[in-house]
Chain A
């Protein structure tokens, strides 16, 4: 029987092609929007999760500003004494401080601005590389004594990204008026700001910015294996707060585990994503009203047909099912086309984002999302069709047969 009902519903939808397509259009837009948003959201969260698992859960970061999002204030940079202090906190196994300052890079008369980072060349260098999950993909890492040498971010390797011609190992770059030799490149991080960083040795950085000697922007720490990283972070935070003579809650720095930092980032993304999803849901409610309107009209037009079906033995529930199947079909078709459209938009958007250096904005298409969107479309169709269906099923056969 369900096969007959579906055939009949398809026939009816075909008989009012224009109206059916317009209704489908209204629902597919909402589904496509939801699919796109969720696919990006999922992509982002899988990127973040991948990051977290790669960098390990034992890392702690001390930032010389209140949070990741507040600006850079050189006044608040950590001193060498503070670095030593943090090194002595119970549970901190090792630590590696970083310099940071904006630099001006010139090549072939083109000037670009990026961040110069002074990093350790010792054993603790691995700590920085682990946190930023980067490996050298070309050339070599910096060594102690590389005073006039730099390692560059990935984007310097890409033609037209930073410079027209890609930079090669062995090239000499003008950085703030001094020539530095490029000895290697880090792998892609996935965001355009970090992928254009310039990495110096401590000595190299200090020679360029003598004022910033022993003034560190951030410190990466690793907690020892037998401790809880969050406890160690809290302990370090308290110690530094007391050292700086600040009250609790008035810290002008931040120390947290990387997991916590990522969670903050993820929750911001989740909020933004939720707001966008809400808007998409509103559009789906409108689509639902549209389906309801279409089905009310369809029921009215087919009053006589419903009367005929009742005369030949259709029960109220049969009519209910017929109308609900028809409206669900509208929803399912909208869902399928919406998923296809959303897939297209996401893939295209992902490619554009990757081209712009935001490889972290790469959508994923899990099966549950695809099926979920299609079922959701069908569900909205069914729900919107229920009320017209109920009023159709309650038509009295004698009246509907008389309807012209």
Chain B
């Protein structure tokens, strides 16, 4: 997938998300409009309660908007059934969460195999692919460890491997480094950056670390459920971000999928 193919992958059109809390109505998103192109790396910045996670949940088909339309690959997902949404989640989207969200009772390998299981891929193929993905994130020797036997950074790398298991076009990362120390966080960020650069994955990442956000091509700033402005980190900022994170853009071991 080439980055030059900049067609629209995600489009939010006048999206509202309203929660009713007792007698009050809380608008998590207010008339939001947003677009992300195929192959883009977008960071979503904003204080807590600004609607970042709500936005990611809607794009990720984990929730449906109260009002408005959401298009994913030109398909309106705002009114789809749960089973249809589950299909899209399984085939098109890879999630990376702040809490890692691995299933504690099964091994790293089985965690990575899980999304493929729900796509009815044959077991031998799943096993092979999961092992390859774990090897890719440097956990080739930890296949049969359970999440509790792994460090935070290793768990997040398992989660990254899992997010890639069905070869999704879109990766949604909600504060992926939020639970990691800065060094490990940097490591994780480097993977995301490589995925975007070398495999052309579209990445939407929620963060509140301004410097980290500069790794992205574009930063959307949220406040009170609305995008107040969008910025594009300058070449200097991006370079500084890489320096800050200790990442120098370099040749990666991540190879393109065949």
Contact = CB atoms under 8 A, between A and B. Distances in A.
Contact of A398 (B62, B114, B115): B62
A317 B57 CA distance: 22
Nearest to A313: B90
Contacts of A4: 110, 113, 117, 123
Contact of A315 (B57, B63, B83): B83
Interface in B59-100: 60, 62-63, 82-83, 86-87, 89-91, 95, 97
A305 B86 contact: no
A55 to B, nearest CB: 61
Given A313-B89, A317-B83, A3 B123 contact: yes
Contact of B118 (A3, A313, A401): A313
B185 to A, nearest CB: 21
B234 interface: no
Interface string A336-358: 00000000000000000000000
A307 B60 CA distance: 13
A8 B115 contact: no
Contacts of B63: 396-398
B5 to A, nearest CB: 25
A353 B172 CA distance: 71
Contact of B95 (A1, A8, A305, A312): A312
Contacts of B90: 312-314
Interface string A297-309: 0000000110111
B105 A315 contact: no
Contacts of B103: 305, 308-309
B106 A311 contact: no
Nearest to B85: A397
A3 B120 CA distance: 12
Given A313-B89, A315-B83, A8 B106 contact: yes
A390 to B, nearest CB: 13
Interface in A374-404: 396-398, 401
Nearest to A306: B103
Interface string B174-203: 000000000000000000000000000000
A313 B87 contact: yes
B151 to A, nearest CB: 20
B48 interface: no
Nearest to B83: A315
Contacts, number: 69
B62 A316 contact: no
A314 B101 contact: no
Contacts of A314: 86, 90, 118
A316 B114 CA distance: 15
B82 A312 contact: no
B166 interface: yes
B114 A309 contact: yes
Interface in A1-50: 1, 3-4, 8, 11-12, 15
A149 interface: no
Contact of B86 (A3, A308, A313): A313
A295 B78 CA distance: 33
A312 B87 CA distance: 9
A318 interface: yes
A310 interface: yes
Contacts of B119: 313
B38 interface: no
B214 interface: no
Given A8-B106, A308-B101, A315 B118 contact: yes
Interface in A187-204: none
A318 B118 contact: yes
B87 A315 contact: yes
A313 B60 contact: no
A313 B62 contact: no
A312 B105 contact: no
A15 B105 contact: yes
B129 interface: no
B251 to A, nearest CB: 31
Contacts of B162: 312
A304 B101 contact: yes
A305 B104 CA distance: 9
A310 to B, nearest CB: 6
A315 B86 contact: yes
Interface string A175-218: 00000000000000000000000000000000000000000000
The 6 closest A-B pairs by CB, nearest first: A313-B90, A312-B115, A398-B63, A313-B118, A315-B86, A398-B62
28 contacts: A4-B123, A11-B105, A11-B106, A305-B103, A308-B102, A309-B103, A310-B89, A311-B60, A311-B62, A311-B95, A312-B90, A312-B162, A313-B86, A313-B89, A313-B91, A313-B115, A313-B119, A314-B86, A314-B90, A315-B87, A315-B118, A316-B86, A318-B118, A397-B63, A398-B62, A398-B63, A401-B62, A401-B101
Given A314-B90, A397-B89, 13 more contacts: A1-B120, A11-B105, A12-B105, A310-B89, A311-B89, A312-B114, A312-B115, A313-B86, A313-B89, A313-B115, A317-B83, A397-B63, A401-B62
Interface of A: 1, 3-4, 8, 11-12, 15, 304-305, 307-318, 396-398, 401
